[in-house]
Amino acid sequence: MTNYGRYKHRLISWRVRGDERQRGVDLPAHRPTHAELFERTHHVREDTAIHRRALITGLAGAGLASPILAAEPDPLGFRPDPAFLEKAMALLKTHAAIDTHAHPGLGGSEAKTVADMREGLLAASSFAAVADRSVLRATPTGIVVDHAFAAGEAAAAYRSQIDRLHHVAADLGLPIIRTPADLDTCAGGKPPGMIVSVEGGDFLEGDASRLRAARDADDVRIITVVHYRPNELADNQTSPARFGRTAEGGLSPAGVAVVREMARLGLVIDVAHAAEGAVRAAMAETGAPLLCSHTHVKTPAYDHPRFITKETARAIAAAGGVVGSWPSGFGGVTLNDFVDRIFVLTEVVGPDHAALGTDMDANFRPTMSSYRQLPLVVSELLRRGYGEANVAGLVGGNFRRLFDTVWRSRRA
């Protein structure tokens, strides 16, 4: 059986998830206007009809017609090319694909998402606890901070989520990624590795000395400094600035201490959600390559508070950092739109500084709704000339280089 033959079974089992669900984690700060939505959905409807016909015809031609596919709206926006799918799967079996930011199974089934990872040949993923989850609420206009943390609530929320992640790893037989070399153990359809992560430094309650236990006792390797709650450490993209000298925000003194300590401990500093001024401050204070795990560059067509300017993206790249492409509903509607956004990001930061940051299972109207779609993304990148070496960097190599640099530079 060819790779593509095996792949058809996965195709048939795909579903576009109920993308209307909002789990209240990464809902961007505002929804598109009706005019924007109309423009997009109208455009996509025409496009979808064409591509769905092409997909069904193409699959029928290959003896793979599926009544399920025919009944489903097309989530792809392009016609999978069997030859490039073969290449994609071969590439993913030899190059560890790593998702730099995700919440596998959040609010659902970790086992199901992990099964998707294996099917989609993802070698490892961030499993991010959401530090401020208990104080956030989704509203029709975006995420709001619903109430203040009670005393000890932030630390307790961290404890319970981190403990759960460790239980999930044990139950599902997932290796915990403690060093870059650990990534070698999980490439190519083996049980995917878990990179224990935290989205939001809220759990530190402003105390950098707690980082050491997070690393040594809890195996945390990536921390997103600030999430939706404007915390003790940094300004974010979606709230008024409090730190720094300009409206672009910055880090608090506690935030400076935290990013410096993270660099000293060899932890990956994730500046997704951070205000532009906070990103620059983190860069200046640490000299470490930064991860901005799930975002897009702002363009005239796609502008959103959760995206970053091209200048900031280039600065992150120039300092050796990596920017993760985020398949959110604010970057498009179909999987093809996600591929488009990857090209746009790569044009800005260069192929050595782009990565994947899917935000899986907590994303807003995801354009990539399952890890099973990873080979398709790769196949389309290859078909459109992204190049094998560049794809290998995008899907994992670039993040691995960053992790390696940060880990080797640790001084404690």
Cα angle: 104, vertex 110, 114; to 5 degrees: 75
User: What DSSP state is assigned to residue 150?
Assistant: P
User: What DSSP state is assigned to residue 258?
Assistant: H
Q: Using CB under 5 A, count the residues that bind Zn ion.
A: 3
Contact 399, 353 (CB under 8 A): no
340 to 369: interface string for Zn ion, x by CB under 5 A? -------------------x----------
Which residue pairs, CB below 8 angstroms and at least 24 apart, start in 178-187? 178/219, 178/221, 179/407, 180/400, 180/403, 180/404, 180/407, 183/96, 183/98, 183/123, 183/124, 183/396, 183/400, 183/403, 184/96, 186/96, 186/123, 186/124, 187/93, 187/94, 187/95, 187/96, 187/97, 187/123
Which residue lies nearer to Zn ion by CB, 22 or 405?
A: 22
Nearest distance in Å: CB 7, Zn ion: 28
Residue facing Zn ion at closest CB distance = 26
202 near Zn ion, judged by CB under 5 A? no
Nearest distance in Å: CB 25, Zn ion: 6
The stretch among 170-178, 199-207, 245-253, 257-265 that binds Zn ion (CB under 5 A) is: 199-207
Which residue lies nearer to Zn ion by CB, 228 or 386?
A: 228
Which residue lies nearer to Zn ion by CB, 264 or 302?
A: 302
Contact 195, 221 (CB under 8 A): yes
- State which of positions 10-39 bind Zn ion (CB under 5 A): 26
Nearest distance in Å: CB 249, Zn ion: 17
SS3 101: coil
Neighbours of 301 (CB within 10 A): 7
Which residue lies nearer to Zn ion by CB, 294 or 383?
A: 294
Q: Which residue from 144, 112, 129, 146 is spatially nearest to 17, judged by alpha carbons?
A: 112
Which residue lies nearer to Zn ion by CB, 127 or 149?
A: 127
Nearest distance in Å: CB 128, Zn ion: 6
Nearest distance in Å: CB 199, Zn ion: 5
Nearest distance in Å: CB 99, Zn ion: 11
- Catalog residues that contact Zn ion under the rule CB under 5 A: 26, 199, 359
